[in-house]
Amino acid sequence: MAETASNRRKWILEKGPKISAVTDKFPPLEEFDMVMKEFAFCIGKGSTEVTATLKKNWSVWISKIVQKAQLETSHRNTLFQGYSGLIDRFSTMTPEELPQSPDASFAIFIVAKLMKSSDALILVLENGDNIVDEIEKRNIAAPYIIQAGPANARQYFLVAENIVYVEVDDFLQAVAAVVGLYYVYNVVYPKQWNNCLLFMEKKLLGITSGPSINALPAGVISDIEKIP
């Protein structure tokens, strides 16, 4: 796969094939490790560097995001109405526990809400929901994440073109993989998820090339960043 990476990248950029056409030709790209290697190749980094950066940044940002949600709730902001129990539960966790929480994906929901972006980049299924039915119901071609399973056995499915391409059991792997799918297959961020994906790309994964973080709603990210 490494030997063919340059030619494969050229083909994808010039011809714009569907994701299914690429994976039909290169089946290993349905595996998380291969997606990450290809993603790292696209941004000129090593795959271990990408995941290490994400883990480091996430441990900082999730604490700030939760504090921001607590602040907004105390100011009677109705954005998080109905989620006070979860926010309160986060408040009892230590900074070391927060990144490992099975509900950590809620932090991305918070950021999306604050930026007035769609929070549907991550679809959370209730126990008993059928993944295939939900994928067909959504009928969205762009990559997104499905979170399923109980708190002690979370699973994350990376979906694109109504097909599950990657399965992981770690939320940070899902974050890396979903941004990776956009890069690897040269897919434009959908308007409704643009802010959320840009936040993941710039602030969590530390990618400096491409669109500026300044494209995000003024003040939202800087307000969170200022929280000690």
Rank 20-34, 100-114, 124-138 by mean pLDDT and report only the highest.
20-34
Question: 205 near 179, Cβ under 8 Å?
Answer: yes
Q: Is the pTM of this model over 0.75?
A: yes
- What integer pLDDT is reported at residue 217 of this predicted model? 62
- What integer pLDDT is reported at residue 70 of this predicted model? 82
- What integer pLDDT is reported at residue 113 of this predicted model? 81
- What integer pLDDT is reported at residue 211 of this predicted model? 62
Query: Buried (b) or exposed (e) across 146-160, using 16+ Cβ within 10 A?
Result: bbbeeeeebbbbbbb
Structure tokens at 208: 């400096």
Task: Please tell me the least confidently modeled range out of 4-13, 23-32, 213-222.
Answer: 213-222
Question: 61 near 203, Cβ under 8 Å?
Answer: yes
Reported as a pLDDT band with limits 50, 70 and 90, residue 214 is: low
Task: Please tell me the least confidently modeled range out of 93-97, 139-143, 163-167.
Answer: 93-97
SS3 128: coil
Give CA separation, 177 vs 52, 80, 183, 208, 213, in Å. Answer: 14, 27, 10, 18, 20
Percent of the chain with pLDDT over 90: 47
Pairing of strands 144-148, 122-124: parallel
Percent of the chain with pLDDT over 70: 92
Task: Look at residue 148 and tell me whether its pLDDT is greater than 70.
Answer: yes
